[in-house]
Amino acid sequence: MRSLRVRLFAILLLATGLIWLSAMAWIYLGSKHEVEQVLDNRLQEAARMVGSLVGTVGGRNPDGTQPTIPAPTAYERQLSCQIWSLDGRMVARSSGAPEQRLTDAPAGFSEREVDGEAWRVFTVEDSEKGIRVMVGDRLGRRQRLVTDLIMGLLTPALLVVPLLGMLIWASLGRGLSPLRRMARNLADRDADDMSAIDARQAPAEVRPLAEALNGLFLKVEAARRHEREVTAFAAHELRTPLAGLKTQAQVAMAAADPDVAKAALRQILAAVDRTTHLVRQLLDAARLDAAGEISPVTDVDVGVLIAEIVEGMRAPPGIRTVIDPGLRGFTMRADPESLRLAVRNLHENAVQHMRTGTVEWRARPGGRGIVVCDEGPGIPEEELSHVTKRFFRGRHKSATGSGLGLAITEMAAKRSGITLRLRNRTDRPGLQAEILWG
């Protein structure tokens, strides 16, 4: 059932109905027992009373007819009375009592069928008077008494149930109104309104929902703030090299000294290279952001991949790259594009932070990962956890870095199910970056 209201309504109505029915059954059984006891007592009393009223069996009326006992009118309808002599003659009977003997039992209660009707009879034997008094009533009548009682209770109940249903339905509507109010408030909100819902005013049952929503608002707000920051940083990172380009161009045009002009032109070239690199990194980061899912994973030859990347990037003179022969034929399951991004940015990062020295790529001892070591300044320990944040540029930042390289590496690694671990070298200054998988 989709509607909470319908669901609660059905549950409440069913429960109420069940309780009512069991109450009815209880009342039925209880009153039936009670009624039987009362009626049995009446039979007993009536039999004894009749017994005391009758004289010694004298036989017959003077006219020879059987005497009729004047029965009290109150009993006339329901009770029947017969008086038999001990030798089996009917002495008298009440009007309306059947002719047939009501019971064969000598004394006490008994039940029997007479003329197609079930009777309950109480017999009193009076040996002094030589009579047996039998008082009985029809069981059908008794049953009707109980049924009437139950019907008397059930009829108003049947009338009340629809009324109760309406009342439950209306109350549920009223009880659920805080939910509706919250929904209306949420629907009326502006798209960028991330203020918290007042959870204290919500009923206790709705409060967890309100609190969860507030939590969600906080998260969305944080994500938006992060996005704004990234955009602001991107603007900064793009505008600064553009400002450099423009300034250098103006210097080149205004300088009378050809050496100054030439130097400015060289700087322009460097700035264009840097900006190109930055734009590529921004696009890489945006692509990684957009593609949340991991693309199909295949076996990638890491040795070949690294060799390709190293060859494709002209490192400045003075920087040597060594690829451990152990990496040849070293394969791993990864998303090739992500792995390429991770390796390329790690390599660029290593090269950027060195004037001279060796960048070394090798397999991790024991497999399950690759390591790249550089001979740059390393990263101050307190910055190690921040360098994978976008646009973070620490104290040892390179002149040409954008603050995106390690962030892209981390994003690409995560996407490919790989772990990136950065640490400073212990044997000498430099950074050691590990790509781990499995």
Partner 1 sequence: MRILVVEDDPILSDGLRAGLSLSGATIDCVATCADADAALAASRFSAVVLDLMLPDGSGLEVLQSLRGRGDRTPVVLLTARDAVADRIAGLDGGADDYLGKPFDLDELSARIRAVVRRASGRAAAGLEHGGIRLDPGSLSVTVDGVPVTVSRRELMVLAALMERPNVLRSKSELEDRLYGWQDEVESNAVEVHIHNLRAKIGKHAIETVRGLGYRMRAPA
**Judged by CB, which is closer to partner 1: 157, or 263?**
263
Output the smallest distance, CB 256 to partner 1, in A: 8
Going by the DSSP 8-state scheme, the letter that residue 67 receives in this structure is: P
Question: Can you tell me whether residue 191 is helix, strand or coil?
Answer: coil
Output the smallest distance, CB 432 to partner 1, in A: 23
Output the smallest distance, CB 230 to partner 1, in A: 13
Q: In terms of Cα–Cα distance, which of 377, 352, 351, 354 is closest to 431?
A: 377
Output the smallest distance, CB 239 to partner 1, in A: 4
**Judged by CB, which is closer to partner 1: 201, or 250?**
250
Output the smallest distance, CB 353 to partner 1, in A: 14
Q: In terms of Cα–Cα distance, which of 152, 157, 148 is closest to 21?
A: 157
Tokens 């004298």 appear where?
Answer: 58
- Helix and strand element counts for the chain (H, E): 9, 12
**Judged by CB, which is closer to partner 1: 300, or 431?**
431
Q: Would you tell me which residues interact with partner 1 (CB under 8 A)?
A: 232, 235-248, 250-251, 254-255, 260, 263-264, 267, 270-271, 274, 393-395, 397, 399
Q: In terms of Cα–Cα distance, which of 131, 51, 134 is closest to 91?
A: 131
Residue 416 burial (10 A CB sphere; 0-12, 13-18, 19+): buried
**Judged by CB, which is closer to partner 1: 197, or 404?**
404
Output the smallest distance, CB 425 to partner 1, in A: 23
Question: Can you tell me whether residue 123 is helix, strand or coil?
Answer: strand
**Judged by CB, which is closer to partner 1: 133, or 264?**
264
Integer Cα distance of 205 and 203 in angstroms: 6
Output the smallest distance, CB 276 to partner 1, in A: 13
**Cβ atoms of residues 132 and 110 within 8 Å:** no
**Judged by CB, which is closer to partner 1: 245, or 342?**
245
Integer Cα distance of 173 and 272 in angstroms: 67
Paired tokens of 408: 């892209």
Residue 48 burial (10 A CB sphere; 0-12, 13-18, 19+): middle
Angular region, 225: left φ>0, alpha ψ -120 to 50, beta rest: alpha
Residue type, 390: R
**Judged by CB, which is closer to partner 1: 144, or 246?**
246
